Structure 1
Amino acid sequence: MARSLLRRLAGPRELDLRWTSARLDPIAAPESYISAILRDDHCDGSQLRPLVSLANQVVERAIDQPLRLLRERHAADSVFVWPGQHYRLLASIVEVLKPRTIIEIGTFNGASALALLENLPAAGHLVTFDIVPCFQVDRTLLRAEDLDGERLIPVTADLHRGEVFEAYADLLRTADLIFIDGPKDGQFESGLMSGLGRLGLAAGTPLVFDDIRLWNMLHFWHTLDLPKLDLTGFGHFTGTGLALWQEQHS
């Protein structure tokens, strides 16, 4: 009853959550955001076996990841916190999967890219997309020498634009692992899933989603119709989700 009353009072407007946010202050966490707990009945437990197997391997190896590249670049101390940050988990999943092609969506300062490069096989390559050129980002951790060869390929492009997505369709189709850290604007992630369905992504391709516990990502993650696991306790405090692509999603 209280919940329905709250909805009626709020109407179409966003609730003022400043009072709720203030209640987090006494906890004295370095960062805090308002999220929600959602029950999820979408996935048949039998579909989760390969996902659980992968997650077990990745989590077990995450704690021992040295993150040498990030240490060499003097990344912020918070990057090396685990659990709480996802960088060890990203390095670990590359170590377990040994992918030849990784697609990252959302380069920003390059911290995640360096984690993904940590265990990338010699013949592998990471293609990372962003709408801002990587060397125009303040305090980027990437260097010009990172672009020597084809292990790291930064692309400045907006995959939310249909013609741009189609231009990179052949590349996206070859992905062995996709890490999605996009704008979380309520549109991009859903559009990306539709696009991946159209291009025929291989069944079983692992997808890692960042920030699934942030308010703007709750609905997307809750309604994502794929075998999925919330690995927040072993990854990023704002949410880490692991999913496997299915053919029927295409």
Structure 2
Amino acid sequence: MDFLPEKLDDYVVAHSQDEPKLLKELNRETWQKVLNPRMLSGGFQGRVLSMIAKLIQPKNILEIGTYTGYSALCMAEGMQSDGVLHTIDKNEELYDLQRKYFDKSTVGSQIIQHVGNALEIIPKIDEKFDLVFIDADKSNYSNYFNLVIDKMNSGGVILSDNVLWSGKVIEKLNPKDIDTAALLEYNKLMNSDERIETVLLPIRDGLTISRVK
């Protein structure tokens, strides 16, 4: 679902920073070799993630949902020189592709890959985070938030992707649509939890920015 007219969207992209060469390579290889390439953050949203990270300058980053590693590399652009980025994905088949591009970057040694169930892995990571990006299975968004909120530093930011879910959040709910139901509850949670302040941006498929008080 397009939230802006195509010509206006093209103008926005044309007047935003272009993606770096390494990310162009990863973008291209993802579309050539990996299933569901639309899951990739892509050039424009990647620049949004990079800008947010550069404004925050996080020391510790957590990403839930690595896919091919594009968004991790975008956020790592703003990470402190001694920072660490933990990224979790359940698909072990993507591990080598992720590592290939992480190692091509200047921060490869600072990116730690975790493979498995994020609900089990997150409690085992003994860190306080300045930036968290939630972009995995929608049915567990609220569970992920509840796991990370006590691991956030004051002033830290939680980003949540796909919160508009192709506009399904404003359509009549299909009782069998578990993901949309979960996102509706999640969006309410992010706007009502007193530990955070939230703004939902209509960027691509919806991006929530939540600042921890």
Report the 3-state secondary structure (helix = DSSP H, G, I; strand = E; otherwise coil) of the residue aligned with 1:73: helix
How has the CA–CA distance of structure 1 residues 196 and 117 changed in structure 2, closer, same or farther, with 3 Å as cutoff?
closer
- Tell me the equivalent position of 1:231: 201
Amino acid in the other structure paired with 1:189:
Y
Q: How many residue pairs are counted as aligned between the two chains?
A: 172
- Tell me the equivalent position of 1:152: 111
Report the 3-state secondary structure (helix = DSSP H, G, I; strand = E; otherwise coil) of the residue aligned with 2:71: helix
- Tell me the equivalent position of 1:196: 148
Q: Which structure shows the higher strand fraction?
A: 2
Give 1:122 shift: 2.5
For 1:209-250, what per-residue CA distance to the aligned partner results, in whole angstroms no more than 9, with x for missing partners? 000101422331123223111122xx3x2111100123xxxx
Output the CA distance in 2 between the equivalents of 1:212 and 1:137.
24
- Tell me the equivalent position of 1:63: 16
Give 1:178 shift: 0.5
**Which structure's CA Rg is the greater one?**
1
Amino acid in the other structure paired with 2:188:
H
Report the 3-state secondary structure (helix = DSSP H, G, I; strand = E; otherwise coil) of the residue aligned with 1:203: strand
Higher RCO structure (Cα 8 Å, ≥6 apart): 1
Output the CA distance in 2 between the equivalents of 1:158 and 1:205.
24
- Tell me the equivalent position of 2:94: 137
| RMSD, aligned CA | 3.2
Output the CA distance in 1 between the equivalents of 2:153 and 2:59.
14
Correspondence list, 1:107-126, <5 A: 107-126=66-85
State the TM-score, normalized to the length of structure 2: 0.68
Preserved contact between residue 103 and residue 178 of structure 1 (Cα < 8 Å): yes
- Tell me the equivalent position of 2:188: 222
Preserved contact between residue 130 and residue 155 of structure 2 (Cα < 8 Å): no
Candidates 181, 197, 210, aligned match of 2:161:
210
Output the CA distance in 2 between the equivalents of 1:200 and 1:175.
6
Q: Between 110-119 and 207-216, report the one with greater CA deviation.
A: 110-119
Identity %: 22
Output the CA distance in 2 between the equivalents of 1:196 and 1:113.
17
Preserved contact between residue 65 and residue 87 of structure 2 (Cα < 8 Å): yes
Output the CA distance in 1 between the equivalents of 2:116 and 2:18.
31
Output the CA distance in 2 between the equivalents of 1:149 and 1:112.
14
User: Any unmatched runs of 5+ in structure 2?
Assistant: 7-14, 32-36, 169-179
- Tell me the equivalent position of 1:11: none
Output the CA distance in 2 between the equivalents of 1:245 and 1:138.
31
Give 1:142 shift: 4.5
Give 1:150 shift: 2.7
For 1:113-154, what per-residue CA distance to the aligned partner results, in whole angstroms no more than 9, with x for missing partners? 122223433222211011122xx1299454073598632111
State the TM-score, normalized to the length of structure 1: 0.59
